[in-house]
Amino acid sequence: MRKFNESQVQQDYKIIAVDDEEGIIDSLSIVLKRSGYQFTGVTDPVEAIERIRNEHFDLLLLDFLMTPYHGDQVVEEIRKFNKELYILLLTGHKDLAPPLETIKKLDIQGYCEKGDKFDQLLLLIESGIKSIKQMREIQRINEELSDAKDQLEKAYLESIQTLRYTVEAKDTYTRGHSDRVSEFAVLIGEKMGLSEAELKTLKIGGLFHDIGKIGIPDSILLKETKLSDDEYSEIKHHPSIGAHILSNATIFADIIPIVKYHHERYDGRGYPENLVGENIPLLARITSVADAFDAMSSRRTYRNNLEMDVIKEEIRKNRGTQFDPKAADVFLDILENEFEKIQEIQEKY
C-alpha cells in the first residue's frame, strides 16, 4: 500500500463513501482513517443523499451498482443542490462504469476499479484533496475581491502568479515554462489578428495552463524514469483538475477553456474530451502549439532539447493531426522569419 507523508494528509478533509456492501465500507474506513482522513461510511444511497444535503463533505467515494439507485442517479440528485462536491466513482470493473458522456454531464471527477489493493484509489483521493485545497484558496480570493472591484485586476494576476509558482518551483527543468508558453502563444495570436481582449486572455491562460499539475502527486510529477500506464493516466487528468480548481471563481472563466483543452488534438485523439478540429476553442489550439514547442525546445531530465530543424519538422508533420493547421503555419512562419523574437523570450526565462 502506498505510504503518505503526514504533511500530505490534512485532518480537516471529510470523505464520505457510499457502497451497499458493508465489507467495502469497513475496508475503506480502515484504509482512509489510517491515512488521516475524517471518514463516514454509508450503505444506503438515500441516506447518503440526505447526509450530504445536511452536512459538509469534501469528497465522495461512490459505488456505481447499488439499490435502489445506481451511482449516476445518486450524483444526479446531489448535483441539484451541491455543485462543488468532488466525486470519485467506484466500479467492480471499468466496463461497468457509466458512459463518458454521463460522467462529464454529472461532473464526476474520476472513477476507479475496486480491488484488494487501494494504491490507485489513494492516489486519486490525494489528487482530489490537493485540488479541493486549491479550490478553497480560489474561493477565499474570490470572496476577498468581491468588495474590491477596483483592485480585481492586480489581485487576479497576483493569485495566478502565486499558484503557478507552486507548480513550477517543484521542478527546475520546467521553471519558466508557463512564461514562455504565454509569450509564444501571444506571438501567434498577434499574427492571427486576435483582439486585445483575446490576446490578454491568451497571455493569462498560457501562464496558468498547467495549474492542474498541482493536483498530481509529486511521486509522479517528479519521476525521472518512464511512467507506468496508471501514472501516465494520472498525468492526463491535469487539464480537468485545473479547470475544476478554477471553476468556482468567475474571474477565471475566460481562461478555463485554455486550461482544460490545451492537450486536445486537432484530429480528436487528445484529452480530456477528444474534441475535434474547430470544436476545440481557438485559444486552446494556439496554446497547444506554443506548449509543444517549448516542451521540445527545453531540456528535460530524460532528454536534451531538440534541434530547431527537428522541431520545425515535427510541427509540419503534425499540422492537421496534433495541431490546428493555421496556428501551426503561423508559428512556423515566426520561426522562419522572426526567430529573434523566440530567442528573446527564451533568454528572458
List, by residue number, the catalytic residues.
213
Distance between CA atoms of 95 and 271, rounded to whole angstroms? 20
Using alpha carbons, list the distances in angstroms from residue 235 to 82, 217, 348. Answer: 27, 9, 28
Amino acid identity at 4: F
* CA torsion through residues 336, 342, 343, 344, sign: positive
162-165 CB contacts, 8 Å cutoff, 24+ apart: 163/134, 163/137, 163/208, 163/211, 163/214, 164/207, 164/208, 164/210, 164/211
Residue 208 backbone class (left: φ over 0; alpha: ψ -120 to 50; beta: rest) = alpha
Partners of residue 61 on adjacent β-strands: 17, 88
- 241: Cβ contacts below 8 Å, ≥ 6 apart: 109, 127, 131, 212, 213, 214, 215, 216
The C-alpha torsion from 230 through 236 and 241 to 242, rounded to 10°, is 150
* Coil, strand or helix at 58: coil
